[in-house]
Amino acid sequence: MSLLKKTTIAIGILFLSMFFLFFVLWFRSIPEKIFYGVTFSTYRSAELELPYKNVLTALLDDLMVKKFRLVAHWPMVEPKNNQYDFSDLDYQIDEIGKRDGKIVLAVGRRLPSWPECHDPEWVKDLSREERQKETLSYLEETVNRYKGYKQIEYWQVENEPFLTVFAYEHCGDLDKEFLKEEIALVKRLDPNRPVLVTDSGNLGLWQGAWRAGDAFGTSVYMYLWNPQIGQVKSVYLPSSYRIKTGIMELFFGKKKSFLIELSLEPWLLEPITKAPLATQLERMSLEKFDEIIKFASKTGFDTQYLWGAEWWYFMKKNGYPEFWEKGRGVINGE
């Protein structure tokens, strides 16, 4: 057999193998039932000028949310060096525990909500090495305080830490070795509780975050806004998430994976309280809300955390309860 013929056969086998693999991953099963939760933060409530306790109580007792991702923003828990204030986080964790809810507790410097990296004022003049030392101290205090709470299911360490193309001016370069140090510290302090590491669904490559944690979380942002070109809609298909998950499992092993951030609020370039309601309704209409939920239901993730619950409450208080009611229907499978 000639070399050319052997090469042609080898290429054909490789092509067929790749096609078969793609076919298998494309048709990964879609879960029959999806368990929904929400991300909740006092930071977001304050930005919307809402009493956070009112919002949390409404989520617990009106929408009957049972799964929460809470956010231990560093400025909230350590507003002054070595002076910790866990009162707000204590309240959230206790109230959720009273209703038998479950929690993903996000800790670290880079956590949900713009500008991504949240530093207390007293940290800003420290060197990189000094800041990292203080970050570890904050992590240790937080993990030690809450590791005995049974309602906490996962520690999320940092938020999308491998997404260096976003918020660079606030976060700087990714220090992979320091991220490993953070994760190792959390696992040493609480060895029996898994660590979740997240990456962007739109821009992330996933392999770094997938390999770094015990569990993996990603995001879906379908509608974005650019000041130059206006609305931008994601080009991804739901199947791309199933394929990507399958590839990660194939090369790096299976693990629990979540859709940890499903965006259901408008993408704005100014604070929501400053944006006209008409603009908010244009950027996130009821039709878009339904479209996003339908899209996410086909991504293959059986656990999904909705982003924007504080905004639904804000809109309800401003005469638009429809988003709150839609959230109720999704969370309760109506």
Tens of pLDDT, residue by residue over 225-266, are 988 899 999 999 999 999 999 999 999 999 999 999 999 999
| Per-residue pLDDT tens over the stretch 99-135 | 999 999 999 999 999 889 999 999 999 999 999 999 9
Query: Average pLDDT, whole number, for the chain?
Result: 92
In sequence order, what are the residues at sequence separation of 6 or more whose Cβ sits closer than 8 angstroms to the Cβ of residue 283?
223, 225, 231, 266, 267, 268
Residue 21, pLDDT score: 52
pLDDT at 164 over 90: no
In sequence order, what are the residues at sequence separation of 6 or more whose Cβ sits closer than 8 angstroms to the Cβ of residue 300?
28, 29, 30, 31, 238, 241, 242, 245
- How far apart are alpha carbons 78 and 74 in whole angstroms? 6
Q: Are the CB atoms for 34 and 300 separated by under 8 Å?
A: no
Q: Please, which pLDDT band fits residue 167 given cuts at 50, 70 and 90?
A: confident
Residue 12, pLDDT score: 44
| pTM strictly above 0.85 | yes
More confident residue, 4 or 30: 30
What number of residues does the chain have?
334
Mean pLDDT, residues 283-300? 97
| Alpha-helix runs per DSSP H in the chain | 3-26, 42-47, 52-61, 74-77, 87-98, 128-146, 168-171, 176-189, 207-212, 238-252, 277-283, 286-297, 309-317, 322-331
Mean pLDDT, residues 22-28? 51
Residue 24, pLDDT score: 47
Q: Please, which pLDDT band fits residue 17 given cuts at 50, 70 and 90?
A: very low
